[in-house]
Structure 1
Amino acid sequence: MAAPGRHVGRYVQRSCRFLCNNFEQFWGHRNFGWTSALHQQAAEANKAFAETIVIPRKKTWSKEAVLEALASTVSRDPTSRPYQLQDDSYLSPRTPNEFKMYSLSQESGRAAAKYFINNNPKFFTKDFAEPHIPCLMPDTVSPRLEETSEEALKERISLRKVTAAVDMYDQLLQAGTAVSMETTHDLLDLICFYCDRDPAQEEMPQTEGMEDSVKVAPRRKGRVRRASDLLKFTWSESNNAERIFNLLPERDTRCYSALIRGMVKHGAYAKAFSMYTDMLNNRLTADVHIFNNLISAAPHVRDSYNERWDLITELLKQMSEQKVRPNLHTFNSVLKALRRCGALGRTQALMTLNEMKAVGIAPSLASFNHLLTVFYRSGSSELHSTNILQDVMSEVDGTSFTCQDPDDVLFFSTAMRICLENKDLELSYKVHNLEEVGENWRMLGDSYQQTLYYGWFFSLLCIMEHIDVVLKWYRQLVPSLYYPSAHGMKGLLQALDTDSRLDLLPTIWKDIRSLGHNNNLDLVEELLTLMARDQHSPECQESFAACALDVKSVFGNRGSSGLEWSPSALSHITSLLLRGNKTQQAWEMLQLFKSTNRVPSEELLKDFLTVCSRDGSPQKAVELVQLSAAFCLPATSVLAKQTLAEFHLTDEQRAIVSELESAGEPSD
């Protein structure tokens, strides 16, 4: 398709040519000099037009533009599962444990698919995907260059083959082939990043003896960690990185930077400072990455808070002397180190943040997260911690952030935790509003961090907000964004009790079952206690009775799985069935007391006797007295006297009750 500017140019040219021809036809016999003048004007007009017209370039749309436009027309469906889990509706998780298992299964499936694709690229030679996604295409995982050359070394470095790259480097040295400094830098970076071992890739299972070359750090308890964090390796003595470094005839800042960063990453903090001193002795200046890592390592090489801050200050002074400009990670490293400086960090953190702004570096969410952690952990009062968070929220209000630091994803959960512990509902709304700005929701982190954030937010709503607002948020968050824990559901039950909305308990019980918390005895007993505590309207009691029958199904009988019956659960369910006019099911529950060796309360037996009197069932009343006598309850004589007085008994029934009455009376 021709550009619009061409059509305009052709139109002007044809118009000028038409005027010239007609002018010559009608006025050519009169030589007033106008014809030549008109020709000259037309030529000048064409020339001027050609000089001023700008043909616009073709507009290029991204291949995702249509999808983005369609996505902008719809909003999140609060009744649906998270979009990551909609591959199979039958397998979609309904509980936190199922979500964890589902996520691990997805990760395992991706690893298996990637392993097959990368090891069988010949079956995936055609790409029909639109748009093209390079990361989903087969990767080259096997070296193609077998000869001993620097190109082969570069290939192994790009494939992250640590052991193969080191072997190739040694072969080049033995052959007398010099390796360029740039390739050497890349090799040192690779070795130091992976701690002198091949990365645990999906296509490379861990082999026996791999643990011998490195020390595996112990796993911390009490926290669910990703598969990539299960193995942590520490810096070993005289590894290949140090050996190659010592073989270099000339060492520049980049070489020292690779080793220092690797030592800090893998726990050799004192050795990193020793390497930095050696670099200064060789009259070399450090780069910003070296200083950032040394600042992060400062709290690990000094004991007292003042010594730690003095070391950080000294590094910053050396940074200024060597004319190394700090970046965002420099100040974030300082703020993160101040978290380990006790009360001293509270004063220095604000000064660091002001200095950060003075040099024109905008703080990231990680900066504010470190600031909040410094004040919260330094023993300050709750009010002061809240004021710091209020100042932070005033500064970042309405700002859309992008991830610049790995710790950016910790800000929202930290801020919401402070709001919960300080019971600051208004501030929690500000935090949540910031999370909804732009794509800040991406800063919530992984599923573990998201669960913490929404869990603390929902708990605060249950404590501080009206029940109607709590239910509105409940419908918006569950299950599309948040799977409530048993503790969260218990908070919702308490919120219903506070605002006298116990009529909603049967509905909440359905959600408890769908979320998989029906195996939590404390939560189930809390629900039964709230339903059985007070008398309600007949309609409400009927719904409670139906709910009690459903709750009964989660408890196990003899030889069956389920929750173990407790005396309170038996009593509450039985009482609810009686109030809901489900007398037959209530008598079955009373027999369950006997089979489970549980003792019913005296109040429950009196309620049964009242129902027997109402229904005119003398035989049931006699059985009730017999059951009370079987449990040796003190109220047996009282029940027997009431039965003899209120019921028309046969001679046989009267004899039985009279005998139980005399047996139940206390002896003098």
Structure 2
Amino acid sequence: MQALASTVNRDPTAPHYMFQDDPYLTPRTSAEFFALMFFLSSIFLSSTEIILPLPGVWQNDCCVSVLQCLMPETMELCIEEVSEAALLERIMLRKVKAAVDMYDQLLQAGTTVSPDASNDLLDLICLYGDRDPVQDDKPEAEDVEVQEEGRRRKGRLRRASDLVRIVWRENNNAERIFNLLPERDTRAYSALIRGMVKYGAHVKAFNTYTDMLNNRLTADVHTFNALISAAPEVRERYTEKWDLIVDLLNQMNEQKVKPNLLTFNALLKALRRCGSLARAQSLHTLSEMKAMGIAPSLASFDHVLGIFYKADSRGPYINNLIDQVIHAILNVALTLFSLPVNFFSSAMRICLDTKDIEAAYKVHDLLRVGENWRMLGDSFQQSIYYGRMFNLLCMMEHIDVVLKWYKELIPSLYYPNPQGMRDLLQALDTDNRLDMIPQIWKDIRRMGHDNKSDLVDELLSLMARDKHSPEIQESFAVCALDVKSLYEQGQGARMALEWTATAMTNITSVLLAAQKKQQAWDMLKLFKTKNRVPSEELMEEFLASIKSSNDPQHAMELVQISASFCLPSTPKLAERVLQAFELSEEQKSQLKSASEVKSNTESRT
């Protein structure tokens, strides 16, 4: 299958591969795309919740040859008696509570549990925070309350994924079983410390490490990695955080523990919390990695990017450093696929902020190497990445290049938001390609953004601003009438667009430029119906159109409409009509009456 896939290229006009099984469900808008992603995720979670506990129900005995690697895992408990084998079975199936209960039953029966089994149980408890691994995405109420209190205490918002994080409880089963162990070796201490760090008990983790040293035990590299990552959480000042990290590194050297790639990644991650010290120390860390023969991973460079780049940092010096980091990534990353899912979106954000289109192209080339595209993350991360890239393209590239990327990315990889379509309109305006607005409007409607008033106003203002060839003006008029139909659908429809004077003026101007006089007059009468006041510039456009057709009756009507709106330019408009057209005495009298009504209104005001 991989050999066959290598012979074809991706079809940019086709939907995403995850939607090709059911073309009826292929999303047409960004809202439908995210709704379907949530739907597919819910199906996966629900099916996992059903299939894993009941694997026997889904077995097919008609298979001629059973492939064990493709069969569902056995999740049912087979050993019921109280024994160490039953304990190991529950540990293997990751049933935390059942394993703890079996361990307690063994102790109550006077059975001695082997050190390996005890350590396996301790590893399991510390891995899942003394909870059974959940199959769905619903947090327990108690966890949410604890995390909400922490969020309010820190005074900042956190993502929903942070709110469901399990916290380390006082005197939980991990601590209890650890205290029951007859002999506590390095493995037991390491499991407990790593569990405490993972679930937020940072101070307790360092206290446990001190107790480990007092018992004349040496920590392994995994223990030091956890402590280094927790060091910024137990100190306030930047210098104190760094001093604690240096102390841990010295202890590693004294205990002859060789650091690995995860050690340096934990160090770089901790440096992101060390303020002004981070930049110099991060470069020393990379040099140390090179001296030890450890190649930095993309996660390492992701932390370096976070250290050197700050949203409020600008200037050639910062841009030069960021450019060097990006180029360093590109030189070594072609063979590395293990990286955080936000690496590409973070790198593209830096390219966007520094307006470095060349670096953006290199980052995107890196994404397309091998299977790096798998590391882009979920649909939300993909949308963020491609949104930033498309925004940068609209700002920095020629419109022909922008349109090429537009056809390649949309909608197979990216459903642009209203801001993305607004960036595209501005790119069309910059390169004087407004003739493509009607085509872009069709895409806006297809993507479900035609109910965004700001985007619609931007599109109308671009069409009404300048004069173009008759062919372009005709296409603009068709587009304007389509927009007008959306406004006329009313509040009960899906499109909740409300008439504004600006939108009505722009639509009328487009219709006048396309010689759609009757539709333009209908729009002018709509001003009165919607209690909106036309601009004086629009009245001038109407007068110019009436002059070209030499229609004195419409000129008289225009003056009367201007007087009904009490426009200040009504007397001048009446005078210009009197000079431009041959009017009867009755028409001249009507013009004089309209001007007098306007003058009387101004005097009363």
CA contact (8 A) 1:288 1:326 kept: yes
- Structure 1's 499 and 260: CA in aligned 2 closer, same or farther, altered over 3 A? same
Deviation at 1:413, TM superposition (A): 2.0
Given the alignment, which residue of 240, 250, 267 partners 1:317?
250
C-alpha change, 1:127 and 1:538, in structure 2 (3 Å) is farther
The answer to whether residue 509 in structure 2 is matched with residue 509 in structure 1 is no
Give 1:598's aligned residue: 532
User: In terms of mean alpha carbon deviation, does 281-290 or 469-478 score higher?
Assistant: 469-478
The residue type equivalent to 1:612 in the other structure is: I
The separation in 2 between residues aligned to 1:417 and 1:131, in whole angstroms, is 51
Q: Does the CA contact (< 8 Å) of 1:389 and 1:415 recur in 2?
A: no
Deviation at 1:625, TM superposition (A): 2.5
User: 3-state DSSP class of the match of 2:23?
Assistant: coil
Matched, 1:271 2:204: yes
1:215/1:234 contact within 8 Å kept: no
- What SS does the aligned partner of 1:400 have? helix
Rounded Cα–Cα distance in structure 2 between residues aligned with 1:556 and 1:113:
45
Match of 1:346? 279
The answer (yes or no) to whether the contact 1:555–1:564 under 8 Å persists in 2 is yes
One-letter amino acid of the counterpart of residue 468, structure 1? D
| Residue of structure 1 in register with 2:147 after alignment | 217
Structure 1 counterpart of 2:186, one-letter code:
T
**Residue 520 of structure 2 is aligned to residue 567 of structure 1:** no
User: Take 2:45 and 2:342, find their aligned partners in 1: how far apart are those partners?
Assistant: 27
2:223 counterpart of 1:290: yes
Match of 2:388 in 1: 456
Where do residues 587-666 of structure 1 align in structure 2 (5 Å cutoff)?
A: 587-647=521-581, 654-665=588-599
1:107 corresponds to: 41
| 2:419 aligned with 1:487 | yes
Partner of 1:71: 5
3-state DSSP of counterpart to 2:319: helix
Cα deviation code 1:232-262 (max 9, x no counterpart): 1211111111011111111111111111111
Aligned mates of 1:135, 1:271 — CA distance in 2: 41
Query: How far apart are the structure 1 equivalents of 2:556 and 2:230?
Result: 80
Task: Label 1:437 to 1:340 Cα distance change in 2 as closer, same or farther (>3 A).
Answer: same
Residues 348-391 of structure 1: CA deviation (Å, up to 9, x unaligned): 00010111121111111010011111111397654233333333
- Of residues 261, 273, 276, the one that matches 1:328 is 261
Q: Contact conserved, 2:95 with 2:132, CA < 8 A, in 1?
A: yes
Matches of 1:473 and 1:371, distance apart in 2: 30
In 1, the alpha carbon distance for the partners of 2:446 and 2:321 equals 40
Q: Give yes or no for contact 1:216–1:233 (8 Å, CA) kept in 2.
A: no
After superposition, residues 110-121 of structure 1 pair within 5 angstroms as: 110-121=44-55
Look up the match of 2:83.
149
Hey, what's the Cα distance between the residues in 2 that align with 1:532 and 1:75?
Answer: 41
Q: Does 1:124 align with 2:63?
A: no
CA shift in 2, pair 1:106/1:263, >3 Å? same
TM normalised by structure 1 equals 0.83
Change (3 A) 1:212 1:659: closer
After alignment, is 596-605 or 343-352 more displaced? 596-605
Deviation at 1:181, TM superposition (A): 1.6
SS of equivalent residue, structure 1 residue 109: helix
The answer (yes or no) to whether the contact 1:386–1:419 under 8 Å persists in 2 is: no
Q: Flag the 1:631–1:558 CA change in 2: closer, same or farther, 3 A.
A: farther
Structure 2 unaligned regions, length at least 5: none
Correspondent of 1:551 among 480, 483, 493: 483
1:650/1:214 Cα in 2 relative to 1: closer, same or farther (>3 Å)? closer
Give 1:522 shift.
Answer: 1.4
Distance of 2:40 and 2:199 partners within structure 1: 29
Residue from 408, 411, 414 that aligns with 1:476: 408
SS of the aligned residue for 2:52 comes to: helix
Moved more, 145-154 or 325-334: 145-154
Inter-partner Cα distance in structure 1 for 2:50 and 2:314: 56
Inter-partner Cα distance in structure 2 for 1:602 and 1:130: 84
Q: 1:212 and 1:147, CA in 2 relative to 1: closer, same or farther beyond 3 A?
A: farther
Q: Larger RCO: Structure 1 or Structure 2 (Cα < 8 Å, ≥ 6 residues apart)?
A: 2
1:188 to partner: Cα distance: 1.2
- The structure with the largest alpha-carbon Rg is 1
Tell me how far apart the structure 2 counterparts of residues 560 and 623 of structure 1 sit (CA, whole Å): 34
Task: Tell me which of 266, 278, 291 is aligned to 1:358.
Answer: 291
Alignment partners' CA distance in 1, 2:528 and 2:64: 68
Q: TM-score, normalised by structure 2?
A: 0.91
- 1:88 CA drift (Å): 2.5
Identity %: 58
Conserved 8 A contact 1:213-1:236: no
Tell me the residue number matched to 1:281. Answer: 214
Checking the alignment, whether the CA contact within 8 Å between 2:143 and 2:166 is kept in structure 1 is no
Aligned length: 594
Of residues 128, 144, 149, the one that matches 1:194 is: 128
Q: 1:465 aligns with which of 386, 391, 397?
A: 397
Query: Does the CA contact (< 8 Å) of 1:335 and 1:367 recur in 2?
Result: yes
Matches of 1:318 and 1:431 in 2, distance apart?
38
CA contact (8 A) 1:296 1:337 kept: yes
Q: In terms of mean alpha carbon deviation, does 81-90 or 538-547 score higher? A: 81-90
* CA gap 1:512/1:298 in 2 versus in 1, 3 angstroms: same
Counterpart of 1:10 in structure 2 is none
CA contact (8 A) 1:342 1:378 kept: no
What letter is aligned with 2:572?
V
Amino acid at match of 2:275: G
- Superposed CA deviations along residues 499-549 of structure 1, whole A, max 9, x for unmatched, are 111111111111222222212211111111111111111111111111111
Q: Distance in 1 between matches of 2:109 and 2:574?
A: 107
Cα offsets for 1:451-486 (capped at 9, x unmatched): 222222221211111111111111112122222222
**Distance of 1:133 and 1:662 partners within structure 2:** 96
Could you tell me which of 422, 439, 455 is aligned with 2:371? Answer: 439
Question: 1:143, 1:156 within 8 Å by CA — same for their partners in 2?
Answer: yes
Secondary structure at the counterpart of residue 554 of structure 1: helix
Once superposed, what is the RMSD of the aligned Cα atoms?
A: 2.7
Secondary structure of 1:665's match? helix
1:222/1:468 CA distance change after superposition, 3 Å: farther
Q: Secondary structure at the match of 1:272?
A: helix
Structure 1 CA distance for aligned equivalents of residues 437 and 299 of structure 2: 41
1:430: Cα distance to partner? Answer: 1.8
CA distance in 2 between partners of 1:205 and 1:563 (Å) = 37
